[in-house]
């Protein structure tokens, strides 16, 4: 028995020593390294090399009414006006003695808060005018030429009626004093507000400037007025913000045509889908490690004024959860596929400039997923902030010339073959 | 709003239409096709054939055939008849390696359980059960390089490792017939090989937020096959013992256990082999031994892709002096030399030769119930100039044996 214990002990010791010995790794020169390996290759697949590719531009994700773009312009290249409605002109008011009916309105004026750092008053000064409209408009559908869908303005830019408020502003803006501009009524406040009270603010008003190169960035608009309660001699100040406000501009944002467009107002996105081949030029893609994958877009020329992109945008690509060519612009969106990329209008015009958007996790899921679990890759591209201003940038699409068409760029490490042990 | 555009076109496109910014070329990481230097011998062909020797035989020129006094080596099944008592032995053989290259030398290490052998004599028979390391395929390298692409510049580490090899489990039967002991053994070739590849990229040098991760690969193989050997030993008087053996093995089959478009099963021809040797008691305290052998590895050549194989001849010479003792226990001193071809080498280069000077000492304890043997082998393998592979090695073999369990 003792010998058996000794035997087992010796065997265990030997196996333990053997098992604990660690092999050291040789550090070798990459040029002469032994063993089986596989190269990491960068490839660029033109859309003709894909099994399929479809792309399109959808517009309207942010409309003028829902954007923060509130600019009143009068220039050769662009005209724009703000439209609004004061829907809640009061017919009674709370006083220390109780709620009193309103007998009349007076001292009306619009208060505009202006971004004086970017607004521009021409040397000869400008008139800031507010007109009542003679035709109602639909907030979501109105444009420079249309009051609503299929209903054109009699006069493009809005059917202007009576001028109800006006202010002449001399150059330059004295921003050191105030960025608040009061535009007083030039007609009877009581008659205008009584009419608006009766119609719920319809058909509304338009704010315009006149004076070449006048440009006013408006941060907010409010109507200030005094009310006189019945049976009282005192006036009570009141204020209302416009509802249904929007901006219309000329020229209107053109249709993207055959190009791919990002940003603008209404804002545009690029939606696309494509199918990668399992192999490309002999290189196995399906089943390989996709270290990086990008969609590459080639920029077109700058858009004309007023659609020239002035400020950088953050561009992001995201997964689409349904077929965008069936569901349309409202295709549900999924996860963001990569970091945002800066679209800088100052550098995108350089030679060979590209917009490169990472879609690595999506392509990796295609590569390493079960066969046929994911065949069509659907991607959306948008610019952030979306709908900031009419400025946009366009890129080559599948229907453009070869040099402008998008491509898929991959960094691929195929499987190690491990052919022969 | 533009209508969707559909593009369904042929797959392949002329390379000229590819617009690649920056690096116009597509292949970025060039993998060296040639293996020059820095190649461990275990990475050649089917690996390094581990001699199935105990420390006593290793110290005496790696002979192990017809050794007077017995050897727990596995050169010849008939040699197990040299033990008249039930015996169990284990030999552990780590070695330090210096891998030579044109740029210098690097050290690494290998460890092997060279042989575990049990022998049980029953009347005129002796039965044995053994485990031996057959082909050692363990190796690992790490390299560093940089990938340049339009995605960025990425330094990376790459590890390539093989872990595993072929072992043998052997059942032996020996019978004493007159002045001869005739033995036969059957071995199951077993084992596995795991090949791994890991390339770990560091973040981009231009933009540390750009990370392209890792690339990995793995393949696993299971080995199977068998080998049969027959041998004989004869004693000429009390001073000389001669031993001879021949062996044949089936193909070594490697079954791929991982999914791959490559072949799921690979077959490698295994060699016919023979060896002869013996020992003689030159004086009462001096034992001499010599052995030589052959393995027909050239038949494997057509099964290999990245290396070649050729027949192997080997020989060894050794002496044992038993004049010393410590506390009454015998302390034999041993020495020898040996030379052997190695079966696998790089395509287009010369076959590797391994030579070594061997030394050793033994110690019997417990009144002969156990023994410890130690062998040191100092030698080289290959030649950088002619075979592009060269290693220096220092192998330590440690045997522990128990008698009359």
- Residue of chain A nearest B33, judged by CA positions: A32
Give the ipTM of the model, two decimals please: 0.77
pLDDT per residue as tens digits for the range B103-140 = 778 888 888 899 999 999 999 999 999 999 999 999 88
pLDDT per residue as tens digits for the range B175-206 = 999 999 999 999 999 999 999 999 999 999 99
**Before A385, cis peptide (omega within 30)?**
yes
| Interchain contact A44–B (C-beta under 8 A) | yes
Query: Under an 8 A CB cutoff, do B7 and A398 touch?
Result: yes
Over residues B22-51, the mean pLDDT reads 61
- Residue of chain B nearest A325, judged by CA positions: B4
Whole-angstrom distance, CA of residue A110 vs CA of residue A206: 12
A8 has pLDDT over 70: no
More confident residue, B264 or B267: B267
Of A323, A418, A419, which to mutate for an interface test with B (greatest number of B Cβ within 10 Å)? A418
B325 confidence band (pLDDT: 50, 70, 90):
confident
More confident residue, A6 or B172: B172
**C-alpha closest to that of A194 among A165, A167, A228, A163:** A228
Query: Under an 8 A CB cutoff, do B160 and A7 touch?
Result: no
A396 min Cα distance to partner chain B (Å): 12
pLDDT per residue as tens digits for the range A182-194 = 999 999 999 999 9
The whole-number pLDDT of residue B25 equals 29
pLDDT per residue as tens digits for the range B66-95 = 999 888 999 999 999 988 889 999 999 999
Residue pair B22/B150 in contact by the 8 Å Cβ criterion: yes
Share of chain B above pLDDT 90, in %: 70
Residue pair A223/A110 in contact by the 8 Å Cβ criterion: yes
Residue pair B346/B309 in contact by the 8 Å Cβ criterion: no
Query: Under an 8 A CB cutoff, do A21 and B38 touch?
Result: no
Whole-angstrom distance, CA of residue B125 vs CA of residue B116: 20
CB atoms within 10 A of CB B103: 11
Query: Under an 8 A CB cutoff, do B305 and A419 touch?
Result: yes
Of B33, B54, B213, B215, which to mutate for an interface test with A (greatest number of A Cβ within 10 Å)? B215
The whole-number pLDDT of residue B10 equals 27
The whole-number pLDDT of residue B24 equals 29
B12 confidence band (pLDDT: 50, 70, 90):
very low
CB atoms within 10 A of CB A256: 21
Query: Under an 8 A CB cutoff, do B217 and A411 touch?
Result: no
The mean pLDDT value of chain B amounts to 87
Phi, psi (5° rounding) for residue B302? -70, -10
A13 confidence band (pLDDT: 50, 70, 90):
low
Q: Which residues of B touch A10 (CB under 8 A)?
A: 90, 400, 402
A5 confidence band (pLDDT: 50, 70, 90):
low
The whole-number pLDDT of residue B404 equals 74
The whole-number pLDDT of residue B395 equals 96
Q: Which residues of A touch B110 (CB under 8 A)?
A: 23
Of A8, A10, A22, A28, which to mutate for an interface test with B (greatest number of B Cβ within 10 Å)? A28
Q: DSSP string spanning B70-130?
A: ----SS-GGGGGG-SS-EEEEEE--EEEEEEETTEEEEEEE--EEEEEEEEEETTEEEEEE
More confident residue, A285 or B102: A285
A243 min Cα distance to partner chain B (Å): 29
Q: Which tokens go with B111?
A: 């460890």
Q: Which residues of A touch B193 (CB under 8 A)?
A: 421
A397 min Cα distance to partner chain B (Å): 9
The mean pLDDT value of chain A amounts to 89
pLDDT per residue as tens digits for the range B391-404 = 999 999 999 999 87
pTM across the whole model: 0.78
pLDDT per residue as tens digits for the range A56-84 = 999 999 999 999 899 999 988 899 999 99
Over residues A383-410, the mean pLDDT reads 94
Whole-angstrom distance, CA of residue A222 vs CA of residue A72: 16
Q: Which tokens go with B50?
A: 């581990």
The whole-number pLDDT of residue B11 equals 25
Query: Under an 8 A CB cutoff, do B5 and A399 touch?
Result: yes
More confident residue, B187 or B366: B187
The whole-number pLDDT of residue B405 equals 59
B16 confidence band (pLDDT: 50, 70, 90):
very low
């Amino acid at each position: 028995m003792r010998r058996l214990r000794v035997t087992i002990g010796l065997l265990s010791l030997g196996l333990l020593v053997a098992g604990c010995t660690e092999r050291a790794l040789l550090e070798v020169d990459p040029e002469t390294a032994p063993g089986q390996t596989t190269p990491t290759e960068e490839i660029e697949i033109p859309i003709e090399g894909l099994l399929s590719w479809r792309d399109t531009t959808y517009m309207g994700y942010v409309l003028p009414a829902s954007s923060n773009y509130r600019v009143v312009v009068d220039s050769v290249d662009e005209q724009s006006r703000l439209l609004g409605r004061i829907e809640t002109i009061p017919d009674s008011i709370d006083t220390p003695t109780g709620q009193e009916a309103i007998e009349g309105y007076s001292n009306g004026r619009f208060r505009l808060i202006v971004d004086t750092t970017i607004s521009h008053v021409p040397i000869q000064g400008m008139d800031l005018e507010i007109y009542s409209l003679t035709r109602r408009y639909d907030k979501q559908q109105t444009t420079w030429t249309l009051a609503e869908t299929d209903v054109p303005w009699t006069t493009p830019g809005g059917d202007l009626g009576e001028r109800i408020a006006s202010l002449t502003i001399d150059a330059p803006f004295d921003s050191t004093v105030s960025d608040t501009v009061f535009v007083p009524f030039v007609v009877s406040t009581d008659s205008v507000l009584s009419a608006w009270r009766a119609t719920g603010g319809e058909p509304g008003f338009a704010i315009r400037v006149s004076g070449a190169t006048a440009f006013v960035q408006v941060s907010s608009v409010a109507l200030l007025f005094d009310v006189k309660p019945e049976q009282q001699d005192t006036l009570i100040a009141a204020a209302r913000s416009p509802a249904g406000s929007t901006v219309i501009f000329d020229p209107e944002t053109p249709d993207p045509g055959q190009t791919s467009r990002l940003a603008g107002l209404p804002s545009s996105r690029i939606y696309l889908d494509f199918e990668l081949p399992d192999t490309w030029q002999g290189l196995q893609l399906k089943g390989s490690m996709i270290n990086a994958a990008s969609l590459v877009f080639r920029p077109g020329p700058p858009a004309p004024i007023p659609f020239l992109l002035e400020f950088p945008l953050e561009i992001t690509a995201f997964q689409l959860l349904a077929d965008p060519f069936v569901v349309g612009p409202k295709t549900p969106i999924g996860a963001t596929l990569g970091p945002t990329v800066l679209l800088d209008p100052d550098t995108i015009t350089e030679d060979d400039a590209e917009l490169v958007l990472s879609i690595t996790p999506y392509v990796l899921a295609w590569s390493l997923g079960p066969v046929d679990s994911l065949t069509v890759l659907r991607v959306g591209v948008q610019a952030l902030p979306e709908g900031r201003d009419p400025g946009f940038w366009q890129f080559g699409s599948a229907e453009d010339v070869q040099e402008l068409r998008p491509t898929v760029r991959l960094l691929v490490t195929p499987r190690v073959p491990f052919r022969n042990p | 709003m533009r209508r969707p555009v559909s593009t369904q076109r042929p797959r392949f496109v002329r390379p000229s239409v590819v617009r690649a910014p920056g690096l116009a070329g597509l292949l970025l990481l060039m993998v060296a096709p040639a293996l020059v230097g820095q190649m461990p011998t275990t990475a050649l062909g089917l690996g390094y054939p581990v001699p199935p020797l105990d420390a006593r035989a290793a110290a005496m020129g790696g002979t192990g055939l017809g050794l007077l006094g017995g050897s727990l080596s596995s050169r010849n099944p008939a040699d197990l008849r040299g033990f008249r008592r039930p015996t169990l032995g284990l030999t552990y053989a780590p070695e330090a390696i210096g891998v030579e290259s044109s740029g210098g030398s690097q050290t690494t290490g290998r460890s092997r359980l060279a042989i575990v052998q049990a022998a049980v004599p029953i009347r005129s028979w002796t039965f044995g059960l053994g485990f031996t390391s057959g082909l050692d395929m363990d190796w690992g390298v790490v390299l560093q390089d940089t990938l340049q692409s339009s995605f960025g510049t990425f330094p990376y580490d790459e590890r390539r490792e093989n872990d595993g090899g072929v072992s043998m489990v052997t059942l032996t039967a020996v019978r004493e017939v007159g002045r001869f002991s005739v033995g036969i053994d059957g071995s199951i070739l077993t084992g596995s090989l795991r090949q791994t590849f890991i390339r770990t990229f560091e973040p981009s040098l231009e933009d540390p937020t750009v990370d392209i991760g890792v690339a990995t690969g793995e393949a696993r193989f299971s080995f199977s096959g068998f080998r049969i050997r027959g041998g004989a030993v004869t004693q000429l008087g009390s001073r000389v013992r001669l031993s001879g053996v021949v062996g044949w093995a089936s193909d070594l089959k490697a079954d791929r256990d991982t999914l791959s478009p490559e072949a799921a099963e690979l077959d490698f021809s295994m060699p016919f082999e023979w060896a002869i040797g013996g020992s003689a008691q030159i004086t009462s305290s001096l034992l001499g031994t010599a052995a030589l052998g052959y393995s027909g590895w050239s038949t494997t050549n057509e099964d290999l892709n990245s290396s070649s194989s050729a027949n192997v001849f080997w020989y060894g010479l050794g002496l044992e002096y038993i004049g010393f003792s410590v506390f009454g226990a015998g302390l034999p001193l041993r020495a020898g030399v040996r030379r052997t071809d190695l079966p696998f080498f790089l395509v287009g280069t010369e076959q590797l030769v391994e030579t070594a000077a061997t030394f050793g000492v033994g110690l019997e304890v417990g009144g002969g119930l156990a023994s410890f043997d130690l062998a040191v082998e100092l030698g080289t393998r290959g030649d950088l100039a002619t075979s592009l592979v060269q290693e220096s090695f220092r192998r330590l073999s440690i045997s522990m044996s128990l008698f009359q369990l």
